[in-house]
Chains A and B, each alone.
Chain A
Amino acid sequence: MAYRNFLQLQSEVFRQLNSFREKAEPWWVQAALNDSLLEICQFHNWNFLIDRYDMALAQSYSTGTVSVAEGSSVVTLTGGVWDTAWFNKKILMTGSNMEKEVDHFSSTTTAVLRYPWAFPSIVDVGYFLYQDEYPVPMQNGRDILILNPTLRYRLIKLDRYSAEDRTVWARFTFGPSPTHYSDGGADVTTTSPTYNQARIKLWPPVTGASGLILLFFKTPTILLNDTDTTVLPNEFEEVLIKLALYRVRRKIGSPNWMDDKTFAMQALMQFREKQNVQPSYDYSVQFQAYPFWDPYATDAALGVWPGIIR
């Protein structure tokens, strides 16, 4: 849904810059519009940004045996076939609880570890190759929840410290479907197609292929072509124009550039309020917490809403 396309948004900014002292290059305006679009979308967890990603959980692999020399980063496989398109894998070799991150697979029988093997060399031992960290098309911190559609439950999210702390005695417990998840940083392998994408860490890691549903607030698609449109509701477009004007006028040094920002921020706060008190909500925001903390009910003298009154 959009009221104006990219060309119309640009043209509106240029029209409002229509004075001799406010000449801007097209790329200034385009970059300002896209920066402002990102700013608006990160300003709040807007409901129009809700999106879904189906996470495919990879099957573990343990066919054959592996060897690695002390101090080496290269693990060689005998009797099996790896896939060079695999990334974000971990390998657990028999005789050690030191699971190692695999940076990439340089061939179907060679894995390159992220950090070298610092223990005595091992030759032709069994191993377990698995994945518990999955790149997702989301920015860290914008997740809503993860669902298991098959078994119909939601995964519990813990901060990374708590997740590691509570699973430290069960690090290598594998199961059919994860029950907890945490933030997993970003994909670190430069050759990976998902390099620098946010990762989700799952526990317990799975042994068989399965799927989860991630619901999250997406990052908007950057505007490029004249006919591109934003994900913003119509009334947000004036805010977008004002924020772009603010950026361009600030760069030019034009007077009154703060007026544009003030207008935009006031409008954004009003839109945020409108979304948070939309009548279709059973409760108010933060109703996922217990006891139900209701910032709009603090006038009721309780301060904390006790929950559903039965």
Chain B
Amino acid sequence: MPVPPSSGQTITDQVFFRLGGRVPTTLLIDYVNKALSTISGAASYVWDVKTALVVIPTNTLELSTFDADIDIGSDISITNANGIPIQRVDENDLLSSQAAQYVGINPLMFNNWYIAQSSVAAPGKIVFTPTLLNTTILITYNVLPPVLTYGGSPLLRWTQQWMDDLLIDGAEFEVKRIMNFEGWQALEQRFIAKLQDARVVFSSQRKDTGTLEEAQVGATGV
């Protein structure tokens, strides 16, 4: 096994080896990326967390220009510059969030935000309430994983070898399923069980250790 952080080439070579060289690496890299995407979509991981101090011109943050790699499906936390959290709301809370509807509040700070479709580019934009001029916010978010190539870069962000193994399993079982190779079902089960463990241990939303969920890590024995 390669020493992490691994590249697309080292992971693909491992998959190539497990498949007995029957599928070319130029095809395998796609399945490595697919498995990586599945792993990434399962949780918000600590190695994907980024923080930025951003000035909002009025009330909109265009994500394509801010950070096109932002994962809008993962946890996003935003505070005002003074540390007061800006609350994420859904559509039915927006109409009750106008400053004129409140008394005894400071209207010169952001109260809430939501993600909306962007007219500029994907993945969308963050819209704040109320509209203010050049207001600084602190945003913590997760980014999508890198798209691996069959080469030395980019590298994966984790440094755990068993995460490499998880990724290799994910790519291997998918190729075997498509090629109808024997044993892919057992491999899929192993991948899913290990993925559950990864979600618990490396979640960026994990706050305390020793939870019941964490005690079950590895309990499946696969």
Contacts and interface: CB of A to CB of B under 8 A. Distances in A.
Interface of A: 6-7, 10-11, 14, 23-27, 30-31, 33-35, 222-226
Give the dominant DSSP class at B's interface: loop
Given A7-B83, A25-B89, 9 more contacts: A7-B82, A14-B84, A23-B85, A25-B111, A25-B112, A26-B111, A27-B99, A223-B104, A225-B106
B103 interface: yes
Interface string B96-117: 0101001111100111100000
B85 to A, nearest CB: 6
Nearest to B110: A26
Among the interface residues B88, B97, B102, which one has the most CB atoms of the partner chain A within 10 A?
B102
Contacts of B168: none
A35 B85 CA distance: 20
Interface string B67-92: 00000000000001011111111000
Nearest to A14: B85
Among the interface residues A25, A30, A35, A224, which one has the most CB atoms of the partner chain B within 10 A?
A25
A7 B104 contact: no
Give the dominant DSSP class at A's interface: helix
B139 to A, nearest CB: 16
Contacts of B112: 25
A223 B86 CA distance: 19
A5 B105 CA distance: 14
Contacts of A224: 106
Contacts of B80: 26
A14 B79 CA distance: 12
Contacts of B84: 7, 10-11, 14, 26
Interface of B: 80, 82-89, 97, 99, 102-106, 109-112
Given A23-B87, A25-B111, A30 B106 contact: yes
When A and B form their complex, which 6 residue pairs have the shortest distance between CB atoms, in order from nearest? Answer: A34-B104, A25-B87, A30-B105, A27-B105, A27-B111, A31-B104
Given A25-B97, A25-B111, A30 B104 contact: yes
A223 B106 CA distance: 8
Contacts of B111: 25-27
Contacts of B99: 27
Among the interface residues B85, B97, B103, B105, which one has the most CB atoms of the partner chain A within 10 A?
B105
Contacts of A24: 87
Given A25-B97, A25-B111, A25-B112, A222 B87 contact: no
Contacts of A6: 106
A240 to B, nearest CB: 13
B85 A26 contact: yes
A219 to B, nearest CB: 13
A80 B86 CA distance: 60
A301 B11 CA distance: 92
Nearest to B112: A25
23 contacts: A7-B83, A10-B84, A11-B83, A14-B84, A14-B85, A23-B85, A23-B88, A25-B97, A25-B111, A25-B112, A26-B80, A26-B84, A26-B105, A26-B106, A26-B109, A27-B97, A27-B105, A30-B104, A30-B105, A30-B106, A34-B103, A222-B104, A225-B106
